[in-house]
Amino acid sequence: MKCQQCDKPAVFHITELETGEVRELHLCEDHARSYLNQSEAAEAAGEEQQAGGGLTGPLSVGQTADELAVLDKKACPMCGITFFEFRNQGRLGCPHDYVHFEKELEPLIANIHGASEHTGRRPERSPADGAALPEGTEELTGVIGLRRSMQEAITHEDYEKAREDRDAIRGIEDRWLGGSRRNAATPTTDDPTHET
Amino acid sequence: MKLDTLADKVGEWLRGTGPESDIVMSSRVRLARNVPQYPFVSRASEQDRVEIERFLRERIATVPVGRQLESIDVGRLEEIDRQFLVERQLISREHAEAQGARSVAIDGLEQVSLMINEEDHLRIQCMHSGLDLRGAWDQIRVVDDQIGRVVPFAFHPRWGYLTACPTNVGTGIRVSVMLHLPALVITRQIDKVFRSLHKISLAVRGLYGEGSQAMGDFYQISNQTTLGKTDEELVEQVGDVVPVLIDYERRAREFLVRETQQNVHDQVSRAYGILRTAQTITAEETMQLLSRVRMGVLLGLIGDVTISDINSLLVRTQPAHLQKLRGVELDTKDRNIERARYLRRHFEGGASPAN
């Protein structure tokens, strides 16, 4: 691939994220350097950086377009968001993304916060309620994937699978949200097993 | 809750009381929280949003702080009512303009506001008049703890509270103060101040949050980062810089009085004059002039108006408030005429015409 500014081979592949727009740049070493210096200079000039500004910086330098393409297709098994969609919108799809994309998010988060470890408050543990245990997060995010799977099964009229998914959802919710106080909105009227 | 009854009152941040209230309008802390069993709001289906809203609203209603709140279905409000809540800083512009199931729960004093289905599933906000970050923080901690006992917040041992945008991850806290800095604006020192704030990772915004223009010399200063420091450290980070800014503004005010007394007196008197006599006036100009008059009152150059009076006018001359008080919807042109009329009546009577 040629540099977009001259005839030298492009060795730098830069992805810029700007207010919901993705711009890909393929540049030779010289042009990449002057480009990056430029954006640094703009920042140093005290240009107001909006919240979320960290997201709009170059994602990474030196990654090949192929590597980026593969990364972009990586999708969260729970909510289904791809890394590409996240880069486009600047918003994650579900809490599990922080686990699934941990490696990719690490440099981004470090860039935004200048830190990569939470030291603040934690949810209070109150075993009586069970609900507030942080360990519940991991298991509860599973419900997001199960709900998608259940919808898909219903679409394919695979009611047995839908029933399994529903039971799995109920199991997790009962364990972490408390059986009697489970969300009243859990399917009753639109029960997938209720064949009409 | 009848929104019309709110129009006659002024909310917490406009009381014009509390420490350093000549410069610090209000102190606010907000926490971003999510539940793990649903996608974040931007990726949630309409059904998900309905369930999230119900789940949070019902559970919050079971804890003591929740029982003192009144819930408002934002999705079902008329546009003017949503705008009204934005003007009182009880919901964000984003929340007002969003789609789908969403609500806000507010306490009678308008100190606590819980937005459900904003960018995150739950945004807890506590706002106090004047410089009182400590008080706002102490209050929000209680609210967060009580809700946390009945709602499982999405939490990761390394990343902390998980939020829709990585810019909020960790503590999920945004600590902000709203400052009135007219003298720093007049003496053209404001940009220098903001540049130095930016260097220590503090953000500066206008009156109505992200992306809003600073109007009438009102600025919000808040923390930019949320991860790696404790909540208390972040509260202190903002709290520590406020006395410095107060000192700068006071010195700039003293300088103005000392060096350009006649000029300043002229400026605030003209501003006051326009407010009392204009026949049509925009919200922006009103805010700009009220800002000058507010400074004039604080410098002792205008005697027959109080600070809480000015504060209340700041919000009551906003478009939605104006229409609520008048009881009819008005287009921009008619609003400008009505605004001028409202101001004239207010200053003639010496007391709020709403009373």
Task: List pLDDT tens digits, range A77-93.
Answer: 999 999 999 998 999 99
pLDDT of residue A123: 84
d(CA B353, CA B355): 5
Q: With contacts defined as CB-CB under 8 Å, which chain B residues touch A89?
A: 42
Q: Predicted ipTM?
A: 0.89
DSSP B241: H
* Inter-chain residue contact B198 with A46, CB threshold 8 Å: yes
Decide if A54 touches B, using CB distance below 8 A: yes
Beta strands in B189-318, from DSSP E residues, in sequence order: 202-205, 218-223
Q: With contacts defined as CB-CB under 8 Å, which chain A residues touch B229?
A: 115, 119-120
Specify whether the CB–CB gap between B280 and B337 falls below 8 A: yes
Checking if the pLDDT of B353 tops 50, the result is: no
pLDDT of residue A3: 72
pLDDT of residue B302: 92
Could you give the angle at the alpha carbon of A97 between the alpha carbons of A91 and A101, nearest 5°?
105
Could you give the angle at the alpha carbon of B14 between the alpha carbons of B23 and B134, nearest 5°?
65
Interface test with B, best of A43, A121, A188 (most B CBs within 10 A): A121
Q: Which residue of B has its CA nearest to A175?
A: B152
pLDDT of residue A14: 62
Specify whether the CB–CB gap between B218 and B117 falls below 8 A: no
Please provide residue B106's backbone torsions phi and psi, each rounded to the nearest 5 degrees.
Answer: -130, 145
Residue B149: which pLDDT band, with cuts at 50, 70 and 90? Answer: confident
Specify whether the CB–CB gap between A166 and A172 falls below 8 A: no
Checking if the pLDDT of B87 tops 50, the result is: yes
Beta bridge partner(s), residue B128:
B27
Checking if the pLDDT of A132 tops 50, the result is: no
* Inter-chain residue contact B167 with A112, CB threshold 8 Å: yes
d(CA B211, CA B195): 17
* Inter-chain residue contact B230 with A93, CB threshold 8 Å: no
pTM of the model: 0.82
Q: Which of A17-26, A98-107, B23-32, B238-247 has the lowest mean pLDDT?
A: A17-26
Mean pLDDT of B244-252: 95
DSSP A9: B
Which residues, 6+ apart, have CB-to-CB distance to A115 below 8 Å?
B170, B225, B227, B228, B229
Secondary structure class of B23 (helix, strand, coil): coil
Secondary structure class of A72 (helix, strand, coil): helix
pLDDT of residue A194: 45
Checking if the pLDDT of A57 tops 50, the result is: no
* B89-136 pLDDT tens trace: 999 999 999 999 999 999 999 999 999 999 999 999 999 999 999 999
